[in-house]
Amino acid sequence: MRAVIGRNVQQLRKAQGMTAEELGRRARKRGLNWATSRVSDLENGRKPVSLAEMLVLAQVLNDGPGVALADLLAGADSVEVTDTFHIPGEDLHRALSGGQVHIYPNGKNRHDARERLYARLDHVNQAFDYLGLDDWELLERTAIATIGAAEDKAAKSLDVPRLVVEVAAQSLWGQSLTERRDSLVSADSTPQARGHVTRSLIAELGKYIKDRHGDD
């Protein structure tokens, strides 16, 4: 879990043009005894993160696009909750958004793993049907792409399932929305510049999805 949080904190911080030093300073202003090294340890998954720290992180990262607790744990297929239990990524997102919590024993059995895979493939096929696509290489790229909070925001903005956004981005650019955005902006870009690029890319996705699916 700490590895997923660390990766997302780093992505969100960089998306706002914020340095690790600045993140540490903002955390200290809100009562956390954090040096820059603590930020580095967090982003590299070397330290656990408490709920109190997650709340502070969500607040200090809110200077750019709105950040919710679910965003700090986005983009994971499965997250280890304890040494013996895990939660699938989609179940975790639902739980953090007010849904019921379901956790499963690690290695419970291969049948459960297959069932989750089949469910995932079913959702992928629905996204393919939605866009009129039939490309298994595209499916593989979608499965391994780097995604983040940008995909959730695009899905909400375009009022389509997130997986449709993921598949459309791969079909349009050969990379995810997150990867496309990061390839077009520099590490020292301002939050305003990054936001402008993100909005432009979401508009491109919207046009592509409308052209493929039609406007209901």
Q: pLDDT, tens digit, for every residue of 64-121?
A: 557 888 888 888 778 888 777 888 888 888 888 787 888 887 765 445 555 655 565 5
> pLDDT by residue (tens digit) across 12-32?
888 888 899 999 999 999 999
Region 147-174: what's the mean pLDDT? 87
As a whole number, the mean pLDDT across the chain is: 81
Please give the C-alpha separations between residue 215 and each of 127, 165, 175, 191, 194, in angstroms, as whole numbers: 16, 16, 24, 32, 28
Question: Residue 122 has what pLDDT?
Answer: 63
DSSP string, 111-141: HHHHHHHHHHHHHHHHHHHHHT---HHHHHH
Task: State how far the Cα of 123 lies from the Cα of 141, in Å rounded to an integer.
Answer: 15
Region 171-180: what's the mean pLDDT? 88
Q: Which amino acid is at 181?
A: R
Task: State how far the Cα of 118 lies from the Cα of 45, in Å rounded to an integer.
Answer: 30
Assigned token pair, 55: 């709340």
Domain with CATH 1.10.260.40 in the chain: 2-75
Question: Residue 216 has what pLDDT?
Answer: 47
Whether 129 has a pLDDT exceeding 70, the answer reads yes
Strands (E), 25-94: 78-80, 85-88
Q: Which amino acid is at 215?
A: D
Whether 57 has a pLDDT exceeding 50, the answer reads yes
For domain 2-75, the CATH superfamily is lambda repressor-like DNA-binding domains (1.10.260.40)
Task: State how far the Cα of 49 lies from the Cα of 2, in Å rounded to an integer.
Answer: 6
Question: Residue 213 has what pLDDT?
Answer: 80
Whether 159 has a pLDDT exceeding 80, the answer reads yes
